[in-house]
């Protein structure tokens, strides 16, 4: 179930969002999906991320959960099924125990390609279990967020409640004196950012990642202003004091492992 790199850009050539050049797809896989010309970080799937971040064979996923349809929202079941088939994931988060350069941790990776990485009951519950198990086993938590709009509209108020639920799990873990490294990748917005993702002891971001609460389109429509250059990018967040550091993808595993080591 876990081995296919299903998120790789389709086709032989891919257009880079950073510099508009065409990039040879095979080339991308070698660079960790960084544009060889401009360094633009392509969005990658949970399994690809896993492969880049954790020690090979060290990941043990939690028992899988599947979304219910608490509001009887029309078409939700089909949407879930479709997303499952397309991504090979049960829902938008891949959660389990792993080792990063020989240090154990609990790990969660939110995958954008599963309904925009939105947080419904399953993502919420899996994240809560991740922090709960980490608290019980006195382990650090590493979460790679990249969850689009954040809310899973089809679960309405249940989606909203996952914000409280995950924040509380983070809070308990933190009060036990344990480390939470939150890694924000493109895009981390809405209810995902405004809950667990913002609350890392150390908050890192990939270059160029979109980070914020309200989406840029909504901000532009509401304020009828031109958005400032680089609005809501990782660089913008760093300048405004919201994150600790920007770490390019190739250095991420090494950087995180050092943090884990120093907080053992």
Interacting residue ranges for Zn ion, rule: CB under 5 A: 16, 18-19, 35, 37-38, 40
The yes or no reply on residue 64 touching another protein (CB under 8 A) is yes
DSSP string, 70-93: TT--TTHHHHHHHHHHHHS-SSSE
- The binder of another protein chosen from 238, 248, 250, 253 (CB under 8 A): 238
The yes or no reply on residue 58 touching another protein (CB under 8 A) is no
Could you say which residues in the range 25-54 bind another protein, by CB under 8 A? none
Closest approach of Zn ion to the CB of residue 143, in Å: 27
Report the residue count for the chain.
264
The yes or no reply on residue 235 touching another protein (CB under 8 A) is no
Contact in structure between 35 and 23 (CB atoms under 8 Å):
yes
- Specify whether the backbone of 151 is left (phi greater than 0), alpha (psi in -120 to 50) or beta: beta
- Nearest residue to Zn ion by CB is 35
Q: Please choose, from the candidates 97, 101, 92, 105, the residue with its C-alpha nearest in 3D space to the C-alpha of residue 46.
A: 92
Nearer to Zn ion, 22 or 136 (CB): 22
Interacting partner of 175 out of Zn ion, another protein, none (Cβ under 5 to 8 A depending on kind): another protein
Closest approach of another protein to the CB of residue 37, in Å: 28
Residue 176 structure tokens: 């036990």
Where b means 16+ CB within 10 Å and e means fewer, 69-105 reads beeeeeebeebbeebeeebbbbbbbbbbbbbbeebbb
Interacting partner of 127 out of Zn ion, another protein, none (Cβ under 5 to 8 A depending on kind): none
Interacting partner of 156 out of Zn ion, another protein, none (Cβ under 5 to 8 A depending on kind): another protein
The yes or no reply on residue 161 touching another protein (CB under 8 A) is yes
Residue 21 structure tokens: 């050049």
The yes or no reply on residue 230 touching another protein (CB under 8 A) is no
The yes or no reply on residue 244 touching another protein (CB under 8 A) is yes
The yes or no reply on residue 153 touching another protein (CB under 8 A) is yes
9 burial class (0-12, 13-18, 19+ CB within 10 angstroms)? middle
The yes or no reply on residue 113 touching another protein (CB under 8 A) is no
Nearer to another protein, 117 or 120 (CB): 120
Q: Please choose, from the candidates 61, 23, 58, the residue with its C-alpha nearest in 3D space to the C-alpha of residue 40.
A: 23
Cβ-based neighbours of 105, under 8 Å, separated by 6 or more = 97, 98, 99, 134, 139, 140, 141, 142, 260
Closest approach of another protein to the CB of residue 29, in Å: 28
Cβ-based neighbours of 258, under 8 Å, separated by 6 or more = none
Interacting partner of 11 out of another protein, Zn ion, none (Cβ under 5 to 8 A depending on kind): none
Write each residue from 164 to 203 as x if it is in contact with another protein (CB under 8 A), else as -, in one continuous string.
xx-xx-xxx-xx-x-x---------xxx-xxxxxxx-xx-
Could you say which residues in the range 201-220 bind another protein, by CB under 8 A? 201-202, 211-215, 218-219
């Amino acid at each position: 179930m876990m081995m296919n790199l299903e998120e790789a850009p389709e086709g032989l050539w891919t257009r880079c969002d950073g510099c508009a050049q065409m990039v040879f797809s095979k080339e991308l896989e070698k660079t960790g999906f960084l544009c060889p010309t401009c360094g633009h970080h392509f969005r990658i799937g949970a399994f690809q991320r896993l492969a880049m971040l954790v020690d090979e064979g060290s990941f043990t996923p939690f028992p899988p959960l599947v979304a219910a349809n608490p509001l009887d929202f029309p078409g939700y079941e089909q949407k879930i099924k479709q997303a499952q088939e397309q991504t090979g994931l049960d829902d938008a988060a891949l959660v389990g125990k792993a080792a990063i350069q020989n240090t154990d941790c609990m790990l969660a990776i939110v995958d954008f390609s599963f309904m925009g990485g939105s947080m419904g009951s399953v993502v919420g519950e899996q994240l809560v279990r991740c922090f709960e198990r980490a608290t019980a086993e006195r382990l650090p938590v590493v979460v790679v967020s990249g969850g689009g709009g954040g809310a899973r509209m089809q679960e309405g108020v249940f989606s909203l409640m996952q914000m409280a639920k995950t924040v509380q799990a983070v809070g308990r873990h933190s009060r036990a004196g344990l480390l939470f490294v939150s890694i924000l990748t493109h895009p981390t917005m809405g209810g995902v950012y405004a809950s667990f993702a913002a609350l890392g002891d150390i908050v890192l971001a990939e270059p160029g990642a979109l980070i914020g609460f309200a989406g840029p389109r909504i901000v532009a429509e509401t304020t009828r202003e031109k958005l400032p250059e680089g609005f809501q990018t990782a660089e913008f967040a760093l300048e405004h004091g919201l994150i600790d550091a920007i770490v390019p993808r190739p250095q991420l595993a090494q950087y995180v492992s050092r943090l884990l080591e120093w907080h053992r």
